[in-house]
Amino acid sequence: MNQQMTSQPATFQGSASGSSFYAAMRILPRAQREAMFQIYSFCRQVDDIADSDGPRPERLAALQQWRDDIDALYQGHPPARLGDYVPSVQKFGLKREDFLAIIDGMEMDVPADIRAPDLATLDLYCDRVASAVGRLSVRVFGLGEDDGILLAHHLGRALQLTNILRDVDEDAAIGRLYLPREGLLHAGITSDDPLKVMSDPALPKVCAPLAARARAHFEKADEVMDRNRRRVVRAPRIMSKYYRAILELLVGRGFARPRAPVRLNKASRIAILLRYAFI
């Protein structure tokens, strides 16, 4: 990724959570692992376009080219950069509409930077950039259709809301504000200027409900994983535990200034990996 460290999709964040993705995926059998890294590569490439410093019309055109390439993949004549996706699409039944939803989500930041979206728009953003990734992923993991879609819905939102809470200052520095308008107004914050919001003493009142929402999604995701075979949910379980730990560190730190960066230490990451991958 570029060095902006924005609230990108949960599967390919910065170093701490990036390592959670790699750790979770490396335990998979080869075909699943290759499919997941293809999904990862696709997400990373379209996110790099959305987060680049290039002119907005050029970024929109580049994202449209990805849409055209996904269409070509599903029409049986994939472009070179998607040629090795064919076996994964066929083996795991990956859906065209989920790839396109991810592009749509990335594009939400391109015409203008997102600033204080309403809750419905924020939820749509989370669905596109995180839950759509989850819908592709659960097919690779082998979950049943209903539980797979449900897990993608809840875990994707839990991870993305955690990212938003973790990255509020980094996002504000590049002019983005993902905190919901309703939450800002409820806390008495009328500005949508990211830097002004970050300096407002009422910011914790905005973040607390989002943290509670993320926790609720984590709990619903746990319910789905608990009723499925351990081997099938090992990878999403590891991702969930990493991110839930980050959320709890954020809540423990609080959202008032100064907000020191939060990162899960190496020992905690190894403990999660050992418990849910091998034990």
pLDDT of residue 167 exceeding 70, the answer is: yes
pLDDT of residue 23 exceeding 70, the answer is: no
Tokens of 112: 């203008």
What integer pLDDT is reported at residue 277 of this predicted model?
77
Exposed (0-12), middle (13-18) or buried (19+): which is 75, by Cβ within 10 Å?
exposed
Beta bridge partners of 248: none
What integer pLDDT is reported at residue 270 of this predicted model?
82
What integer pLDDT is reported at residue 276 of this predicted model?
81
pLDDT of residue 179 exceeding 50, the answer is: yes
Q: Which tens digit of pLDDT belongs to each residue from 92-118?
A: 999 999 999 999 999 999 999 999 999
Mean of all residue pLDDT scores within the chain? 91
pLDDT of residue 5 exceeding 60, the answer is: no
End-to-end CA distance of the chain: 33
What integer pLDDT is reported at residue 238 of this predicted model?
92
Tokens of 185: 């107004």
What integer pLDDT is reported at residue 7 of this predicted model?
58
What integer pLDDT is reported at residue 279 of this predicted model?
56
Q: Taking residues 204-216, report their average pLDDT.
A: 98
How far apart are the C-alpha atoms of 22 and 239, rounded to whole Å?
10
Torsion of CA 170, 265, 157, 256, to 10 degrees: -50
Q: Which tens digit of pLDDT belongs to each residue from 250-272?
A: 999 999 999 999 998 889 888 88
* Stated pTM of the model: 0.91
- Which homologous superfamily does the CATH classification assign to the domain defined by 10-278? Farnesyl Diphosphate Synthase (1.10.600.10)
Tokens of 90: 């066929």
pLDDT of residue 52 exceeding 70, the answer is: yes
Phi, psi for residue 116 in degrees, rounded to 5: 50, 60
Domains of the chain by residue range: 10-278
* Separation in Å, CA 139 to CA 22, 148, 153, 210: 18, 7, 13, 28
- Among 15-24, 34-43, 51-60, 178-187, the minimum mean pLDDT is found in 15-24
pLDDT of residue 273 exceeding 90, the answer is: no
